[in-house]
Amino acid sequence: MSDALVRLDDIHVRFNAQAVLEGAQLQVRHGEIVTLIGPNGAGKTTLVRTVLGLLKPDRGSVWRKPRLRIGYMPQKLHVDPTLPLSVLRFLRLVPGVDRARALAALAEVGAEQVIDSPLQGISGGEMQRVLLARALLRAPELLVLDEPVQGVDVAGQAELYRLIGRLRERHGCGVLMVSHDLHLVMSATDQVVCLNRHVCCSGHPEQVSNDPAFVELFGQDARSLAIYHHHHDHDHDLHGSVLHPHVHTEHCGHLPAQPSPATPADPEKG
Ligand SMILES: Nc1ncnc2c1ncn2[C@@H]1O[C@H](COP(=O)(O)OP(=O)(O)OP(=O)(O)O)[C@@H](O)[C@H]1O
């Protein structure tokens, strides 16, 4: 495990007597991009929170490289609209960050123009970049990105994935990200882990998109489209906690979450 940054084995998590993760495993190595994909409620954020050490699994082992520096980009940031907080002040909440460092991090993600803007006033795409800049300010060995392209238009999504690829090269960090869109991450990822409470299949994107377990989960259409509808119905705070958890009515079995036939390629995320 010399180049491993984090390794999870046989992870079990239950919430309110409901199994959310059952024997999941995951490994991220130095310089590698690993993408977690799976339907709503599959346990992706729960696994990410376990990686971050924010959640202790009921069973299983979590190994992290000693003193591992992690930069985390949450799924969504809940900002109180009455809180007067500029992008600069927000980034300076990271210890030791001054204006010059904040500006350099924003420049790296192509968002230096918003440094003095109120955080509540910037666009969805700019917010994602600011959150990425904030994660970079921790000089991470491991970047953890929970749905990094959420709220970004399709062209912006592809650009953001390219940016993540460049950041991996420049910083040599490992990247763990959650995505709902295998098609877009295809070129940007080394390893795909398809999760539905446990790891259904994993490997190189092309390999995974042809795996029967992947096709069973996402439907035949997903093989060509590698895309499906995502109806997001809860927010997370800075620590990844669910602010408004949805009620999970379906047992999270291997039910195919097929794209709607009316709009099969709509990549809009909730
Ligand atoms: N703190 C919590 N307390 C109770 N239930 C929770 C908690 N966190 C998550 N859950 C439930 O665990 C299940 C898995 O949630 P999780 O957020 O990990 O799924 P996900 O794959 O990230 O889903 P999505 O694609 O919708 O973001 C869901 O049914 C969710 O409601």
pLDDT tens-digit series, residues 184-220: 777 778 999 999 999 998 888 877 777 787 777 776 5
- Return the minimum-mean-pLDDT range out of 110-114, 168-172, 222-226: 222-226
Q: Which atom of ligand 1 is nearest to the CA of 42?
A: 21
129/106 Cα distance (integer angstroms): 8
- Third-level CATH fold of 4-46+64-79+141-155+163-208: Rossmann fold (3.40.50)
pLDDT computed for residue 155 by the predictor? 80
Q: Which atom of ligand 1 is nearest to the CA of 75?
A: 27
72/68 Cα distance (integer angstroms): 12
The larger pLDDT score, comparing residue 47 to residue 205, is at 47
Looking at the predicted structure, is the pLDDT value of residue 240 above 70? Answer: no
- Return the minimum-mean-pLDDT range out of 26-30, 55-59, 167-171: 167-171
Q: What is the pLDDT of residues 138-148, one digit of tens each?
A: 999 999 999 88
Ligand 1: centre distance to CA 45 (Å): 7
The 10 Å Cβ neighbour count of residue 233 is: 11
Pocket lined around ligand 1, Cβ cut-off 6 Å: 15-16, 20, 38, 40-46, 232, 242, 245-246, 248
103/127 Cα distance (integer angstroms): 15
**Ligand 1, atom 12, residue with closest C-alpha:** 20
Cα separations (Å) of 53 from 25, 50, 111, 128, 147? Answer: 15, 5, 30, 23, 19
pLDDT computed for residue 78 by the predictor? 79
| 63 contacts: CB under 8 Å, gap ≥ 6 | 1, 4, 6, 7, 8, 9
Q: Which atom of ligand 1 is nearest to the CA of 180?
A: 25
Q: Which atom of ligand 1 is nearest to the CA of 46?
A: 18
134/144 Cα distance (integer angstroms): 12
The larger pLDDT score, comparing residue 75 to residue 14, is at 14
Asked whether 185 and 197 are in contact (CB, 8 A), the reply is no
Ligand 1: centre distance to CA 137 (Å): 28
Question: Model confidence at 106, in pLDDT bands (50, 70, 90)?
Answer: very high
Strand, coil or helix: 52: helix
Candidates 27, 38, 39; CA nearest to 63 is 27
Residues of the chain with pLDDT > 70, as a percent, come to: 80
Asked whether 130 and 224 are in contact (CB, 8 A), the reply is no
Q: What is the pLDDT of residues 64-98, one digit of tens each?
A: 999 999 999 988 787 787 888 999 999 999 999 99
Is 118 buried (19+), middle (13-18) or exposed (0-12) by CB count in 10 A? middle
The best mutation among 12, 13, 15, 37 to test binding of ligand 1, ranked by most ligand atoms within 8 Å of the C-beta, falls on: 15
